Structure 1
Amino acid sequence: MKLLIKNGRVMDPETGMDQVQDVLVFNETIVEIGETIHVEADCIMDAKGYWVVPGLIDVHVHLREPGYEHKETIKTGSKSAAKGGFTTICCMPNTNPAIDSVEVVRYIQKRSEEEAVVNVLPIGSITKGQAGEELVDIKGLAEVGVCGISEDGKTLINSALLKKAMKEAKACDIPVFSHCEDHLLVEGGAMNEGQRAETLGIKGIGNDSEEVMIAREIILGRNTGVKLHICHVSIKEGVDLIKTAKERGVWVTAEVCPHHFTLTDEIVEKDFTNAKMNPPLRAKEDVDAIKRGLAEGIIDIIATDHAPHTENEKDTEFHKAPFGIVGFETAVPLGITELVETGLLTPLQWIEKMTLNPAKLLGSNKGRLQVNQCADITIIDPDAVYEIDIHSFASKSKNSPFHGRKVRGKVVHTIVGGRIVVENGALK
């Protein structure tokens, strides 16, 4: 199949391309990029006024399958990702059973081949059953295709065991994704520690629970040389630690989620459990530091931490509700509204954090819009203004604090391997 994308603002963060061009796709591959391409094609898209960018990559998602299919499945999660402009997603291992064996990895790969509309890359757990006691066969998981290892949803407290895992991951040339939280310091906290928590009478989670673990991961990462990736940074101290580590030559990357650069703990109410996530929404000074980290390149990647839960699960007292919100279908508008429209990042800088930098972390040749590359392409209308409507989400779950929020920027088309999976904002 020949697909011709006409008149779009084509942006490629690796080459710095940012100009109106045509893009020609044949089957799964980009075969030509030029100012005016004249060729017969099976499908011609007019992208005038739109951004044509590499397919977005999300390195931190929860698809819930196997074990929690009432929240999300590989099929529904991948559809939600596609509507959000993502063409590749990396699913975390806190499923049931955990992604701790070759058999579970192969199950996810098989289900993804059968059901997913985007590329799905599993992340293996670090310990068996995520129990924190015995390492998985890291080499075996790497050989069968995990893109990294993580205990996401919890932190491996045993430093000696983590160091050993890092050494093995280093030998396999895969990254370690670190959820940085000392649960002994959390002690049942449900939101950010501060004045808002005191006012509401909700037990708080201090910045120190995250800071101490970021520091530990950096120390162990430095000593092992592993590709260390710090997940969902939410605190100002974390930004400073990562900056210092990079200046000292430590191989470390970091991600931030849209909710952490958009919202503060001031929106939390006792009956608003869709504002409960882990790490929690922090203070304004933390949000400001995260934005500075994005602008200065300290924070490399924007990831959603898409964490679906059912309405019934969230419909309880704040301290009892599960942590997490859905994020696929709000990432693009929040990024454009909060980062690009405000002038904090240029469009190309924002796209780099959603495409090229995640690809580099994964050791992938995706995240680029160039001739002879795979035709994973996202097309965005940067001027579309609308209100977020959770009822339009393709995700099985609707747990988002952004319902009704006015935003700018909307995914128009998502193309995966040359195949159109979202057209004019709708799943095909």
Structure 2
Amino acid sequence: MQLIKNAKILEDSHLVTRDVLIDGKKIVKVSENNNLKVDTFDAKGAFLSSGLVDVHVHFREPGFDYKETIATGSQAAARGGFTTVIAMPNLNPVPDTAERIAAQIKLNETNGTVHVKQYGAVSADLIASKISDISGMSAAGAVAFSNDGKGVQTADTMLQAMVAAAKADKPLVAHLEDDSLLHGGVMNAGKQSKKLEIPGITGLAESSQLARDLMLAKATGVHYHVAHISTKESVALVRIAKLQGVNVTAEVSPHHLLLSDTDIKGDNALFKMNPPLRSQADRQAVLAGLLDGTIDMIATDHAPHGTAEKNKPFREAPFGITGIETSFQLLYTHLVRSGVMTLETLLQRMISAPIASFKLEAPTEIKPGETADLALFDLEHQKTISVDKFKSKGKNTPFIGWQVYGNTLATWVDGQLVYQSL
């Protein structure tokens, strides 16, 4: 047994001090002043939560181990306070068959510090027009399906995938990007792209494909999930679709909540991600969508890259930034402490909503009988985001040097302490 003493937890929207007793993988008692003589961790008044859940991460193994591995990615997740994540399939080989899914799940379980669930690819190598064996991959353990990093270019391919995913009762997750509308763009098309003389990507590349998919989702009844939503038009489309009864959920990434294209002051690829940072109006729209429930959850789109490739000019560097070690901290600091949303709402968007939407076996409350997947956060003391502290191989983030509260002090997975800050 082990005892976490003097932790603040949320009960009925109020922070109260409790001791949490763990036996094996489970919480067995939540009480005041538990003085059992067992292995004890003194939380010293820090905030204890169920572990965070991220439905969108890139752990890069196999195929791109120099960027990240399952070990380093999951250690980074633990440092961020996450205990369950779902890993995207843009790997080499792509997990696009039942056999490859089974092998990837075994690799995740062997090398993961946290619970690493796995996406299956919608189509072979993420680009084929013929869909993969979604039924077989589902039976092998895939929790959802996506071609993340690539938009599904034809309506017929997406329709076939939705029919198969609906039959398997699994979410179909869309990276929205119409290749015919990209025109070589690498940042948001607008005043800032013109000022910097960097080719722009219009928001239509996202929203036009979303409109197509929502009609297909309505026809098939599939659980359709929008990855990293970024434009005001996309938020409006999801809002309307929900009113019409479409089974659609959506996620937004922390960088789209906190940054806009005006933050890109020069040729700095740390600000290059896909979808790109949009306008200030788009940023305000996705924040409003998150607050009113149109956008269901927050997902990091943790996308580590090698330092050398991210040091290339904006046009040449790969898309993507890291996020799993900084997301709760940034959002707690800039949304909760500023009064934009409550701590309870932030946790709902980072724990309860992803668990419910993706039908994950993970705890949403700290109570007896729940799995002891837990994270302890320091809400009182400010620290600076420094890549020197990162567990991830990827150091590619525009948030370096930002001052944040909510830093992770400790993380438990299945009752085992897997991360503790020094």
Give the TM-score normalised by structure 1. 0.95
* Residue 67 of structure 2 is aligned to residue 68 of structure 1: no
Rounded to whole Å, the distance in 2 between the matches of 1:384 and 1:227 is 40
* Residue 155 of structure 2 is aligned to residue 159 of structure 1: yes
The one-letter amino acid paired with 1:5 is: I
* Residue 343 of structure 2 is aligned to residue 347 of structure 1: yes
The one-letter amino acid paired with 1:398 is: K
On the 8 A contact 1:218/1:250 being kept in 2, the answer is: yes
* Residue 97 of structure 2 is aligned to residue 98 of structure 1: no
Task: Tell me the SS of whatever aligns to 2:321.
Answer: coil
Rounded to whole Å, the distance in 1 between the matches of 2:373 and 2:308 is 36
The one-letter amino acid paired with 1:20 is: T
- How far has the Cα of 1:33 moved from its partner? 1.6
Q: Which residue of 2 aligns with 1:123?
A: 119
Task: Tell me the SS of whatever aligns to 2:210.
Answer: helix
Moved over 4 A (4+): 15-18
Q: Deviations over 1:177-226 (max 9, x none)?
A: 11111121112101011111000101111111111122122111111111
On the 8 A contact 2:17/2:45 being kept in 1, the answer is: no
- How far has the Cα of 1:284 moved from its partner? 0.8
Task: Tell me the SS of whatever aligns to 1:123.
Answer: strand
* Residue 395 of structure 2 is aligned to residue 406 of structure 1: no
On the 8 A contact 1:221/1:251 being kept in 2, the answer is: yes
Unaligned ranges ≥5, structure 1: none
Rounded to whole Å, the distance in 1 between the matches of 2:383 and 2:35 is 35
On the 8 A contact 1:270/1:317 being kept in 2, the answer is: no
- Bigger shift: residues 67-76 or 366-375: 366-375
Rounded to whole Å, the distance in 2 between the matches of 1:300 and 1:34 is 32
* Residue 393 of structure 2 is aligned to residue 392 of structure 1: no
Task: Tell me the SS of whatever aligns to 1:378.
Answer: strand
Rounded to whole Å, the distance in 2 between the matches of 1:357 and 1:298 is 12
- How far has the Cα of 1:249 moved from its partner? 1.6
Q: Which residue of 2 aligns with 1:273?
A: 269
- How far has the Cα of 1:304 moved from its partner? 0.5
- How far has the Cα of 1:157 moved from its partner? 1.2
* Residue 195 of structure 2 is aligned to residue 181 of structure 1: no
Rounded to whole Å, the distance in 2 between the matches of 1:4 and 1:338 is 32
Q: Which residue of 1 aligns with 2:375?
A: 378
Rounded to whole Å, the distance in 2 between the matches of 1:69 and 1:191 is 27
* 1:301 pairs with one of 297, 317, 323: 297
Rounded to whole Å, the distance in 1 between the matches of 2:2 and 2:228 is 37
Q: Which residue of 2 aligns with 1:263?
A: 259
The one-letter amino acid paired with 1:33 is: V
Rounded to whole Å, the distance in 2 between the matches of 1:386 and 1:210 is 36
On the 8 A contact 2:127/2:150 being kept in 1, the answer is: no
Q: Deviations over 1:299-324 (max 9, x none)?
A: 11111100011111112121111000
Q: Deviations over 1:258-315 (max 9, x none)?
A: 1111111112144310100000011111111111111111111111100011111112
- How far has the Cα of 1:16 moved from its partner? 5.9
Q: Which residue of 2 aligns with 1:10?
A: 9
Give the TM-score normalised by structure 2. 0.97
Q: Which residue of 2 aligns with 1:205?
A: 201
- How far has the Cα of 1:414 moved from its partner? 0.5
- How far has the Cα of 1:7 moved from its partner? 2.3
Task: Tell me the SS of whatever aligns to 1:412.
Answer: strand
* Residue 226 of structure 2 is aligned to residue 227 of structure 1: no
Unaligned ranges ≥5, structure 2: none
Task: Tell me the SS of whatever aligns to 2:371.
Answer: coil
Identity among equivalent pairs (%): 39
* Residue 45 of structure 2 is aligned to residue 49 of structure 1: yes
On the 8 A contact 2:145/2:173 being kept in 1, the answer is: yes
* 1:243 pairs with one of 239, 244, 249: 239
The alignment's C-alpha RMSD in Å is 1.5
- How far has the Cα of 1:38 moved from its partner? 3.5
Rounded to whole Å, the distance in 1 between the matches of 2:230 and 2:375 is 28
Q: Which residue of 2 aligns with 1:335?
A: 331
